[in-house]
Amino acid sequence: MMGKAVEITDANFEEVVLNSDKPVLVDFWATWCGPCLMMAPVIDELAVEMTDAVIGKLDVDANPQSAAKFGIRSIPTMLVFKGGEPVDKIIGAVAKKELEAKVSAQI
C-alpha cells in the first residue's frame, strides 16, 4: 500500500493503531468535509515520505465507534498515537510541515 494512507476502520483500529510499534497519525475525516478533502493529498504525501510512522485515515461516518471513543467532535482532527496512546492532537486543516513535526517528535 505504498503511496497512500492506510485505511483505518473500527474493525482494524486496535491492530493498526493501538498495537503498532511505530507512531501512528490518524486523520479523522468525512467525505462531505471540505477541509478534510483539502488535507487528503497532504496525508497521502506524508504516508509516502514518513516510512518510520504509520499514516492512516478513518472515515468518521463509516466508523463511528473509534471517533466516539476518542471524543472527535470536529473534523478534520488528527491524533498522533505512540504505544497505543494518543499523545498529540491537531484540529483543522494545517500545514504539512506542522503535521510532519508532530509525528517526527514521536519517532
Residues designated as active site: 33, 36
Question: End-to-end distance of the chain based on CA atoms, in angstroms?
Answer: 21
Sign of CA dihedral 40, 18, 16, 30: negative
- List the one residue out of 11, 12, 8 whose CA is nearest residue 79: 8
